[in-house]
Structure 1
Amino acid sequence: MSLKKLNILYISSKKKWGGVSSWMLRTAMRLEERGHCVWILAHPRGRFAADNLDYPHLVKRKLGMDYNPSTVAYLVYFIKKNRIDVVVTNIEKEVIAGGCAARICGIPNIRRVGREDDFNRKWKVKWRHRLLVDQCITPCDLIRDNAVKRAPWLDPHKFVTIHNGKNQCHFDASLILLQRRKWGVSENALVIGVTSQLSGAKQIDRLIRVFHRISVRFPDTFLVVTGEGKDGVSLIELAEKLNLTHRMVFAGYTTQPLLAAAAYDIAVSCSGFEGFPNTVVEYFAVGRPVVTTNAGGVSEMAEDGVNSSVVPVGDDDALHDALVRLIQSPADRHRLSQNAIATIEKGFSEDLMVSKLADALRTAIEMKHKRGGRD
């Protein structure tokens, strides 16, 4: 017996690109490939709308103020017109608008939680969540556990963990060489790379200072920083202060993070605070040897000495030593690379993630109907 295809509405109101935005786009595309219809309502001047104009079900619209009656009315109209089965939201503004419309229409609103600090003990947050959210999806168990600690009123049984996933991806050597040439990096150089938002929590400044020490000892190494953010200018100034401009590349935002990762020789995640780092999943998917801090739920995927090198948050010496070990040992880089790919294949593929997501959405819809939702 074939399962009913779903009509899904994602709401993404952020102007900037982030982990949940990436998750929404990737899962929407994969769900569409499986025959479902996924609409994405995005901010008209946001990165999401600007970079994905070819997405077949993109709606560009601002949500406006909280509890905006015209926005809620539009969403109710849209849900009924397109026979939407489930709404998926993230931040409070989306929860309010999408949750109100979903409640009126008798369908579930699923909150995709990216960070535990989305919740607190404030009565407004508690009231909104209990009234407007049917279930939460988190990318790792740690976010769920920490969210419940921050907000004890949350019901942990209404959380479903679906780890971020990415299918193994291979790029031809010519594409990797072309990418490195765009960066101005020679074929024989050893590239340490990081793909990240340029914000304080990501601690790129610490990586730059660690690389300054490495650059003196290993003259053929380069550091490539892929991403954009509010700290971009200050990070460039730091590189200039340390006289690293000839050994560093600030590559900016990319629409091809997997290709960028594939062009690194060693991939780094140096965050001080994370949920479940999507970049580490991407690094694993292209078979890069990874050095990562133990921020957030990364330990649910990364195992020190097995498929990656895991160092404590804020320990610059440990980060330095881990990078040096991999620089000096091609054999260790190869071993971590192979084990990273095996990790993806065993439990962190995009195919598995999307299957679990479709199951979770169906379950939420069925439970809503049993409680008296839409017929």
Structure 2
Amino acid sequence: MIKIAFVIDTVESPTAGTEKQLLLLIKHLDRTRFEPYLCVLRSSKWIEEKFDLCSLFVAGIDSFKTITGLKGILRLSGWFNENGINIVQTHFRDSSIAGILAARFAGIKTVIGTRRNQGYWLTPVELRMQKFLDRWVTAYIANSQSTKQWMANTEGVDLKRVEVINNGFDFSIIETESDINRKEMRLSLGVAEDAPVIGIVANLRPIKDHATFLQAANIVHAQIPTARFLIIGDGSEKPVLQKQTEELKLTDAVIFLGARLDVPRILAACDIGVLSSRSESFSNAIVEYMAAGLPVVTTDVGGAREAVDDGINGFIVAIGDFEEMGKRIIELLKADTIKQMGRESRKRSLERFALTSMVAKTEYLYNRCQEGSN
């Protein structure tokens, strides 16, 4: 039995990108061969009330600037030893620092780093720290070819140490294709049956650039006044975006839905899925759109081109180019091929992003790394 400790800062919500992928992996690992443990630097309300997939350890690390942080790393290291952990896998910056050092202190030979973003927030000091820690990492998992190359260019990581494993999607949660489901959801949202509906699923943070989405929505609405725009997600930018919506006179067309656990049902009521981010490694939202059978309009970030074939199942536009984004949305809404492009999205999602494939490739990497450490 291979014991794996998944180290992450915390899990505030099961719907966030990295957290969702980690929870799916823990849930679907072959328990006859792998025993997972979740290690968080700090707890959260969701963890305390909802998490039940495996054993849990809370390290109690809030900062590395105090002696408490060092003690937390030592506690984590001791816990690794007590539980006979074979592999440590880290996520995010802080958990990488704590997890890699704790594994080092515990003498654990196999450490796997996870890269699901392209470090847009890294300061020069943090980047130097990351490069220093890289020497003790056995292998990396990147969720796109784009991020693999970014790691080589930015961190200087040998490409041979990086395994690309695409995000996995649980297709069983997709609503059965039905006009009844579509009508019911639209009715609950106050959207007309025949209205064109464009959705965006993303936390309301600056990096997701909803401002560009709203500016594109303004262009679309000027030509297609019946169009409605669903913003699914919550975050610090909500007041700013609501003000922008008012200034653009789009309050009747834009619906802020907040964080939702029924995203597949909402997407069943949409016609197009949009991503307006300024930086991504690989967007879970794109796969969700594709799985729901929607054509996608996305900015050219991260692994977007590994999912969206421009002109086949959607369009790719330059970062921040709201005029082109609006133009492409209008083009899709007026095209006779919109349903065909949606079918292409669904087909590609099944071929490229099956959950079973993600889990199998990850398990293979664990076995390979563990064999190499013996």
Structure 1 residue runs of 4 or more that deviate by more than 6 Å after TM superposition: none
Report the counterpart of residue 249 of structure 1 in structure 2.
255
Q: What is the TM-score when the length of structure 2 is the normalising length?
A: 0.88
Report the counterpart of residue 95 of structure 2 in structure 1.
94
Taking every aligned residue pair, what percent have the same amino acid on both sides? Answer: 22
Aligned residues: 362
Supply the distance in 1 between the matched residues of 2:297 and 2:142 (Cα, whole angstroms): 24
Report the counterpart of residue 159 of structure 2 in structure 1.
156
Report the counterpart of residue 222 of structure 1 in structure 2.
228
The 1:222/1:47 distance shift into structure 2, 3 A limit, reads farther
Supply the distance in 1 between the matched residues of 2:265 and 2:32 (Cα, whole angstroms): 25
Please list every run of 5 or more consecutive structure 2 residues that lacks an aligned counterpart in the other structure: none
Cα contact 2:219–2:323 (8 A) shared by 1: no
Aligned pairs (5 A) from 1:1-375: 5-14=1-10, 18-31=16-29, 36-42=34-40, 44-46=42-44, 49=47, 52-66=50-64, 68-103=69-104, 104-117=106-119, 123-131=128-136, 133-152=137-156, 154-169=157-172, 170-172=174-176, 173=178, 174-329=180-335, 331-369=336-374
Q: CA deviation at 1:206?
A: 1.3
The 1:37/1:325 distance shift into structure 2, 3 A limit, reads same
Supply the distance in 2 between the matched residues of 1:344 and 1:77 (Cα, whole angstroms): 42
The 1:33/1:175 distance shift into structure 2, 3 A limit, reads farther
The 1:207/1:47 distance shift into structure 2, 3 A limit, reads farther
Supply the distance in 2 between the matched residues of 1:73 and 1:229 (Cα, whole angstroms): 34
Paired residue type of 2:17: G
Q: CA deviation at 1:259?
A: 2.9
Paired residue type of 1:151: E
Cα contact 2:38–2:54 (8 A) shared by 1: no
Q: CA deviation at 1:35?
A: 6.2
Q: What is the TM-score when the length of structure 1 is the normalising length?
A: 0.87
Supply the distance in 2 between the matched residues of 1:94 and 1:8 (Cα, whole angstroms): 15
Report the counterpart of residue 372 of structure 1 in structure 2.
none
Q: CA deviation at 1:287?
A: 1.3
The 1:191/1:338 distance shift into structure 2, 3 A limit, reads same
Cα contact 1:167–1:285 (8 A) shared by 2: no
Cα contact 1:137–1:160 (8 A) shared by 2: yes
Select between 67-76 and 155-164 the one with higher mean Cα deviation: 67-76
CA RMSD of aligned residues (A): 2.5
The 1:302/1:183 distance shift into structure 2, 3 A limit, reads same
